[in-house]
Amino acid sequence: MNHFADCRFWSEMVAQFIGTGPIEALCLSESSPNFSQYTMGRMTCDAWKSNHHGAVDSPPNYGELARAAYEAEEAPE
């Protein structure tokens, strides 16, 4: 099962924790029905993509290196 917490578009840079509930982070995938919404890490969606290089906005450079790595990985040969 795919979880948002493992998705490259799940932004912990823009997150909230309310009371004793789970952390909710902003979804940055424009192809997701959850785009620009706070989502819990255990949620899933069809726009999920692995975050093995980090989130698209990860520190310290706001995802610049992660986005470049994903683009290189997905570029046609």
Q: Please list, in sequence order, all residues whose beta carbon lies within 8 angstroms of the beta carbon of residue 24, skipping any fewer than 6 positions away.
A: 15, 16, 17, 18, 38, 39, 40
Q: Is the pTM of this model over 0.85?
A: no
Residue 5 — very low, low, confident or very high, per pLDDT cuts 50/70/90?
confident
Residue type at position 40: M
If 0-12 CB within 10 Å is exposed, 13-18 middle and 19+ buried, where does residue 28 land? buried
Question: What tokens does 64 get?
Answer: 């610049």
Residue 28 — very low, low, confident or very high, per pLDDT cuts 50/70/90?
very high
pLDDT of amino acid 1? 64
When pLDDT is averaged across residues 4-33 and rounded to a whole number, the result is: 91
